[in-house]
Amino acid sequence: MRLVVADDTMLTREGIARLLQDAGHDVVGQAEDGDDLVARTRVARPDAVVVDIRMPPTHTDEGLVAAQRIRAEQPGTGVLVLSQYIEPSYALRLIEERPEGVGYLLKERVSDVAVLTDALRRIRDDETVIDPAIVSRLMNRRRHLDPLQELSPREHEVLGLVAEGLSNKAIGMRLFITERTVEAHVTRVFQKLGLADHADAHRRVLVVLTYLRAHPDALRQP
């Protein structure tokens, strides 16, 4: 893949670029802030960009804003956002408009080149990639009369993998069960949670993450 890497710390930026190049990717540009990233993306027309969320000048969400601008200007460009912190709200901001071809990983994952390249492969294939730590944080929030307690251990496991962006086929391979069995589990999960299922895996991700974040006390008694 042709990639542009953005991070305001030169050593981090160069390190990510080297990992990607060693994995066979073509790093066609490097940027040190959001505006620089957008400008370089307009010129280089990469397959995807890899960008830190916290960029100058305020080090809050400039990287995310730049990613959203790129998605608006170049819809075919994939986006992999990196964050040092578990920030579910930022993940939802990234995927809520167009969840396909985007990913959100914690920066600590970058050192594992297999995880990084797998995320980019899935983004290239228009899938959605959400860091397992974010999914775990959302699913383990304390809830009074937690609707997730209605799920069996296997259904709970399947729900988490759906939220990470895995397709039914990928979930089946991960759990060593058939794709048809996964489909049955997903159907029951969505029925128990009162959610509308979607044929597109990336739309299911958005539905599940939105539900988990919006219902910390989904069945709280008055």
| Predicted confidence (pLDDT) per residue in 36-47, tens digit | 999 999 999 999
Measured CA to CA, the distance from residue 128 to residue 166 in angstroms comes to 8
Residue 221 confidence (pLDDT): 32
Q: What is the mean pLDDT of each run of 10 residues along the chain (222 residues)?
A: 96 94 96 96 97 92 94 94 88 83 92 92 93 87 72 93 92 95 93 79 80 56 30
Residue 217 confidence (pLDDT): 45
Assigned architecture for domain 2-130 = 3-Layer(aba) Sandwich (3.40)
Measured CA to CA, the distance from residue 166 to residue 16 in angstroms comes to 24
Residue 199 confidence (pLDDT): 65
Q: Return the CATH class of domain 135-214.
A: mainly alpha
Computed on alpha carbons and rounded to an integer, the radius of gyration of the chain in Å comes to 18
Domain borders along the chain are 2-130, 135-214
Residue 215 confidence (pLDDT): 56
Dihedral sign for Cα 2, 45, 81, 63, please.
positive
Neighbours of 136 (CB within 10 A): 14
Per-residue pLDDT of 136-179, as tens digits, reads: 888 877 666 667 888 999 999 999 999 999 999 999 999 999 99
Measured CA to CA, the distance from residue 90 to residue 110 in angstroms comes to 18
Measured CA to CA, the distance from residue 162 to residue 202 in angstroms comes to 9
- pTM summary value: 0.83
Strands of the 26-31 sheet, one edge to the other: 26-31, 2-6, 48-52, 78-83, 102-106, 128-130
Residue 197 near residue 186 (C-beta atoms within 8 A)? yes
